[in-house]
Chains A and B, each alone.
Chain A
Amino acid sequence: KNQVEQSPQSLIILEGKNCTLQCNYTVSPFSNLRWYKQDTGRGPVSLTIMTFSENTKSNGRYTATLDADTKQSSLHITASQLSDSASYICVVSDRGSTLGRLYFGRGTQLTVWP
């Protein structure tokens, strides 16, 4: 069964600290993996997208890694800010095609305290 599991479910950190969120998946065949940020009451916004051949991608203070062999990805946030408080969602696509589908994780709820 294709699944996407994220950990931790929730995380609280102090402003300025770094953190790492995890995503494990069993989706096969694999096409790409995306990380989205979803602020409370808003729609998700794309942070990064990685294909099979990419093992790291950065977007400002966000750095995503991908290990396609172990089917794991992480999202590292550097020097956290209060505005980083949100849910971070891992989304995995099966083999890219018009008929392909997306598998969503339940997200990690990050709270950054001052």
Chain B
Amino acid sequence: EADIYQTPRYLVIGTGKKITLECSQTMGHDKMYWYQQDPGMELHLIHYSYGVNSTEKGDLSSESTVSRIRTEHFPLTLESARPSHTSQYLCASSSGGLSTDTQYFGPGTRLTVL
């Protein structure tokens, strides 16, 4: 079982609210990632980080922002949630590069914006 945690697991909020999805890992991995996944669809990379103070946007355009102040913590923030943000958000980490190493995933946060 991978030691990567996400909170909350489920979140239902109204339009316009600011939210932060938490992700923490205890494996000491330098690389961390955020994916967005809709039902029956593939995962899309929205943000990644190769270490502290390093963040990059992924393949899928997202209105969210991330920060990496500590190695173990990689929170994702939506300043003003909209119904189009309704999705499952998966956090992952790895010790190697994006395409060279196995990623360990958290359990996900299912976000519903009304």
- Give the size of the chain B interface in residues (CB under 8 angstroms): 25
Chain B residues with CB under 8 A of A34: 102
B84 within 8 A of A: no
B99 within 8 A of A: yes
From A42, A44, A109, name the one whose CB has the most chain B CB atoms within 10 angstroms.
A44
Say yes or no: A98-B42 contact (C-beta < 8 A), given A43-B92, A43-B108, A45-B105: no
Say yes or no: A101-B59 contact (C-beta < 8 A), given A43-B106, A106-B41: yes
Shortest CB–CB separation between residue A13 and chain B, in angstroms?
Answer: 19
B45 within 8 A of A: yes
Shortest CB–CB separation between residue A79 and chain B, in angstroms?
Answer: 24
- Give the size of the chain A interface in residues (CB under 8 angstroms): 27
A43-B107, A93-B99, A98-B97 are known contacts; what are 9 more A-B pairs with Cβ within 8 Å? A31-B99, A41-B107, A42-B108, A43-B106, A44-B90, A44-B105, A45-B2, A98-B98, A101-B45
Task: Name B's A-contacting residues (CB within 8 A).
Answer: 2, 4, 40-45, 50, 59, 90-92, 97-100, 102-108, 110
Task: Name A's B-contacting residues (CB within 8 A).
Answer: 4, 31-32, 34, 41-46, 49, 89, 93-102, 104-107, 109
